[in-house]
Amino acid sequence: MTTTGSAPGSPEPAATAAWLLVAADAAGPGGPVEWRDLVAAADAARHAILTRDELAVGLGFLVGHGFIEMQGTAPVVTDRGRAMLRQADCRTWSGTVDRLRALLAPLGPTDRYEVPASVLEDAVADYLRRSTGDAGDATVG
């Protein structure tokens, strides 16, 4: 589901899209990305769990500019996305994310891409359960 615009205080689109693209490529190279794997790779890339707002802004930017396409409910990095990743490659995730941010920043705004809250919440709970042995009271902001 797509909605127009971004709310005041929303994450900066190019920055969020940069680390989300790196994470999506790591989580599903060449194919559809499992949400749990995307959450895990995003955590590894940025040491933070995705929020709904970050996902909507970043995914909207990447889908809107053709770097990711949706196959059903699963994101897939496109050829254009992989080409951008190669152009930005700095051999480290943090360096690549920084370079991607600079390359993506000049691109225009896009609509948000909203995924059902349960998709992200289930993925986060599954990731935390697998990484810590107990999801506990996992909630997504």
Does residue 118 sit within a domain? yes
Query: Could you tell me the pTM of the whole model?
Result: 0.84
Give the C-alpha separation, 33 to 102, whole Å.
Answer: 25
Nearest alpha carbon to residue 127 among 29, 54, 23: 23
Which helix (DSSP H) or strand (DSSP E) does residue 71 occupy? strand 68-71
Domain annotation covers residue 141: no
Question: Residue 26 is part of which domain span?
Answer: 11-132
Q: Does residue 48 lie within any of the structural domains?
A: yes
Whether 94 is covered by a domain: the verdict is: yes
Number of folded domains that form the chain: 1
At residue 3, the pLDDT reads 40
CA atoms within 13 A on the CB side of 129: 9
Is 138 part of any domain? Answer: no
Residue 137, domain member (yes or no): no
> What is the spatial distance between Cα 129 and Cα 137, in angstroms, rounded to a whole number?
10
Mean pLDDT by 10 residues, the chain (141 residues): 50 92 89 92 86 93 97 93 94 91 94 90 91 58 50
Residue 115 has what pLDDT? 87
CA-nearest of 116, 137, 135, 130 to 36 is 130
